[in-house]
Chain A
Amino acid sequence: MVRYGIVIDLKRCIGCYGCLVACKAENFTPPGVFWARVLKREDGKYPSVRRLSLPLLCMHCAEPACVEVCPTGASTQREDGIVFIDAEKCFGCRYCMMACPYGSRFFHYRERPYFPAGFTPYEEMGRQKHPTGVVEKCDLCRERIEKGLEPACVANCMTKARYFGDLEDPASEVSRLIRQRHGFQLRPEAGTDPSVYYLSP
């Protein structure tokens, strides 16, 4: 059985936000909604300081807390591990947003154009994809995967910091990287077993 996963190499990542925009452009996400995002922090005390950029997306957990708590069955998991939301079923209770330890889910309150003057022709093309009053999140670019493409954030990553593949296949590049470079998951104590692994900076 396939289990799709992503490995993010923090040694390669430069925190350029390319993934955020690649995702946005691919998925027409509205203002304030980020299926892919980047967090920044600094630690230490001058002059011994480090800064870290942490790219995030939905972790497509093997034990998705969001799916478990969903009262409508809108959040579901496919056999290949992709967690997605059926907007038809979602009624916007946001319980999944409380359950997700990674803040990967966004509630689309109301439609809002990027420019005060109104929707651009580009936005018009994608408006139907984002109904309001429901929760939305990364679906690992299901449509691209079905066409044999990598998710947009992976395909575009300028520093090739993202790898996409099958975590169940020990011979896949993602499995190899996790093994060889001690890939780790975020917040393992939450018990969700994320399918997104990170390599140390």
Chain B
Amino acid sequence: MEDRLIHPTELFVDSFKVQREWIEGKGMLLLLAIFFGELGAGMFLVSWYLNYLLGMVFGIVIVASLKTTFHILFLGQPLKFWRAFTRPQSSWISRGVIIMSVFVVFGGLYVLPAIPGFNWLPWTAQSPLGNALVVVAIVAALGEIIYVGFLLASLPSIPFWNSGLLPILFITYSLLDGAGLTFIIAPALSNEAINVHQLKRIEIWLTLFAIINILAYIWTMYHTTVGGKESVLELIKGRIATPFIGGVLIVGILIPLPVAIYAHFFLMPYAVLGITAFMALAGSFLLRYSILKAGIFPPLYPLYTPV
């Protein structure tokens, strides 16, 4: 028996190979929760940067309503959701819900005086207390857009997720989402002036950064582990090629980016830009989908070959 070597280089033939729990069936709820969490926090940050209060409110509402609802619905035992707060010392889910709660509470308190009916509150956006609140909210929002990446990246079981590049990619996309949604809703919902050009510039740079991110991520994954390579193959020519190439790359980047660049120099109807912003959002959603879907457990089988 000693004449055989163990080679961890095989692909396993087994129905348990692909992660399903976090993407199939009820698992789609988790994808929605992740997406809306990042979208909301991203929007809050972008709007804060643009000093666009309604966008900040919108971001908080998305997180507080959509993200939490989808998260709780995803659980096998939704009524026990409060237990999620109990293990921040080791679990990224616990950390995530605490961060999210801090974000919603502090961000909410920060914007609350600006909402009609709440102006009796003893602080304003500009007051010291308001400033303190917004600092905490911004830090929490950053945490909110980072933690999902860490949540996945901390798992050695799934090599495709187990990468420091993943949180960076998620941050980039969160901000991109935030910018995109702000662009869409700002003219539609309010008369508050936002700097559309600035917004578009942010989008262009973020998109370019996202491209570099994706390429670096894919390249690293393809070249470091067997499991990661298998996932990349699924993305570029396997089960997930359509959402990834068609959705993430073409719909999400290759069409909106030239339009945005063109619009930066020439006049462009707002509707076209709105549509491309929607496309970018869809691409972003599909990026999360593709990454979750490409989560593959590498083979357990030690392949043996005669020496």
Contacts and interface: CB of A to CB of B under 8 A. Distances in A.
For A11, A69, A97, A186, which residue has the most chain B Cβ atoms within 10 angstroms? Answer: A69
A134 B76 contact: yes
Contacts of A67: 90
Nearest to A69: B91
Given A98-B157, A187-B298, A71 B94 contact: yes
- If over half of B's interface residues share one DSSP class (helix, strand or loop), that class is named, otherwise mixed; here it is loop
Interface string B275-299: 0000000000000000000010110
Contact of A102 (B10, B74, B300): B300
B270 to A, nearest CB: 42
A93 B74 contact: yes
A65 interface: yes
Interface in A20-72: 39-43, 50, 52, 54, 56, 65, 67-72
A18 interface: no
A91 B300 contact: no
A121 interface: no
Contacts of A17: none
Contacts of A189: 8, 156
A68 B90 contact: yes
Question: Which of B4, B81, B93 lies at the interface centre, i.e. has the most chain A CB atoms within 10 A of its CB?
Answer: B93
Contact of B91 (A11, A91, A95, A103): A95
Contacts of B12: 39, 41
Contacts of B4: 200-201
A171 to B, nearest CB: 23
Contacts of B84: 71-72, 91, 93
B83 A107 contact: no
A92 B156 contact: no
Nearest to B84: A71
A65 B21 contact: no
B303 A184 contact: no
Contact of B77 (A50, A133, A184, A187): A133
Top 3 nearest A-B pairs by Cβ distance? A92-B76, A133-B76, A71-B93
Interface of A: 11, 39-43, 50, 52, 54, 56, 65, 67-74, 89-95, 97-103, 107-109, 132-135, 181-182, 184, 186-187, 189-192, 198-201
Interface of B: 1-2, 4, 6, 8, 10, 12-14, 16, 19, 21-22, 26-27, 74-78, 80-81, 83-84, 86-87, 90-94, 97, 151-152, 154-158, 295, 297-298, 300-305
14 contacts: A39-B301, A41-B12, A52-B304, A65-B155, A67-B90, A72-B86, A89-B80, A91-B83, A92-B76, A92-B77, A95-B151, A98-B158, A108-B76, A201-B4
